[in-house]
A and B are shown apart, each in its own frame.
Chain A
């Protein structure tokens, strides 16, 4: 049976105002995270990416994986963060459902929590090939951070 998968969600954490959504692209998918800080927006963009694959609520955050990346600007850092997660998902056969990001200028230290892919439980729809630089944007608007890009599926 097809599991209805959300295409937007609130983080549910009081005071964080963090949320994510998908936005359309003709062949692929857009991921967009919002938050009160850049780090929260990056975390939510990662959540949006998981939601392309499956319902994040179905993924147990049992195992932690550390991710580190460095890039000359915020936008390339976002693409790097998502690409590192794509890499870790591919080589570990995992899906992630909880994220924590710390950004210090050009450096990102993050942790992703998840579990091994279980086709019967997660009903994964599609694997992600890479995070593109198309519609890539990191900005603070009216006190809210947004982090978005198109991912190739």
Chain B
């Protein structure tokens, strides 16, 4: 069995199943913070999928996109928590 076949038929389905599980938590998450970490995890799982896909297609250029996505995941989480705290402060002032 070649490496590409193994990655395509074993690794990619595992990553896809974990994406679906995270998506379920994104939909049912009782609080907004659950949804925020689900979004963070979806992007981080996307990093793994991009790395696997760059091996399958033999294109190392895709790893640049992975770098930018890691940055976006961090900035998104920090921005969400900043605005959550800001909203809480505003409610207490009123």
Partners in one complex: no
